[in-house]
Structure 1
C-alpha cells in the first residue's frame, strides 16, 4: 500500500466510513484554491444534511424543548467554530488538498476551510452511501457534544439576546463592523465594533474569530444598557 493509500485509509477509519468511490473523498478534500474542480458543491449538500440530522436529533432528544431552544442548540452545534473543532478531532486538515497560497498561509488550520471540508465530506458520504449511513457517521462525530447538551443549558447567546431585546422594544437592530485583525494565522485576534442607534451606544469586542468578537461586543452592549432600558 502506498503512502497516499495509507493516509486515505487512516482518514476513513477516523471518519468511521470507507468510501466505495475514493474520488468522492478526494473531491470533498479539495479546496477551491486548488482549482475549478473543488468541494464547494459537496459543501452545499453537506451543510443541508448536517443541519437536518442535528435538527432531527434535537427534536427527539428534547421533546419538551421550544422551537427557540432547539434553534439555539442547533446553531451552537453547526456553527463554523464547532464544525472546525470536529474536523480537527478527525485530523481533516492534514488531508486537505490546497493551492500553494493557502498551504503557505496556514490553510490547513483555518477554521472556515476546516468547517467547509467537514460539510463536504458529509455530502460525499451521503452520495457514496445513503441517508442512514450518513446519519450514523455525523452522530458519531457529534456524540460527545450531543451528550453534554441540556435544555437548561440552551441559553441564548449575547447577539441573539441583544437582537431580541431591541426587536421587542421596536428599536433598530445593532450594526457590527470589523475594525481589524492582528496576529499570525494560527493566533489571530479580531476586533469588532457594535453600534446601537436607540439607545445610542458604541462598544468594541475582540476574539479569535469574527463571530467571537461580535459576541463579546454584544455582551458588553447588554451589560452597558441602563436597567430601565432593559
Structure 2
C-alpha cells in the first residue's frame, strides 16, 4: 500500500471579494498575499500545482521561486464556472426576482448557473485530477493552490453527501487561505481509499 498526501489551499483575499468569482480573474489584495504566505509557511511538499487563475497562479509562481521547485498549472483546479452570474455582486444575485440564484444555493446538485458549469462536472474534474496525481506522485506530498468551490465539493465527496443538498455550502466556514488535508491510500489491487485528515481555518495572524 502506498499513500499520496494532498494539501489544498484556498487563495487569499482577492480584489472584488464581494462578487461571485468563478472564472473572473482579479488580483490579490495585500492581505491576500499575507494570508497565502501564512497558510503555506508550515507545509512541506514535493510537487506544486495551481489553478491558472491569477489569484492562485501569481502566488504559486512566487512560492515556487522561494522554495526552488517547479510549478504546474492545471485547469481542473479552477473555480466553478458560474456562467452569466460570474463577476456579479453577491448582494445583487441574492435579490434577483427570478430567484434562480437562491434555488441554486438550495439545490446546487440539481441546479446549474445559466451558461455555467454543473456541480457534478466540478466534482468529476477535481476527483479525476486527484486520482491522476495520486498515481503519478505515489509516496509524495502534493500542494494544490485552488478555490473555495473545489475544496467544498471535495468535502462533500469525502463525507459521502454530494446528493444531500447544500451542506458543503451553508454549513462549512471556508475563509480565504483555509486549507484541506487529504490522504489517498492505493492498495495492492490499485484501489484508491481517500481519507480526510483535517480542515484548517483561515489564518488569523495577517490583519
TM-score by length of 1: 0.23
Larger Rg: 1
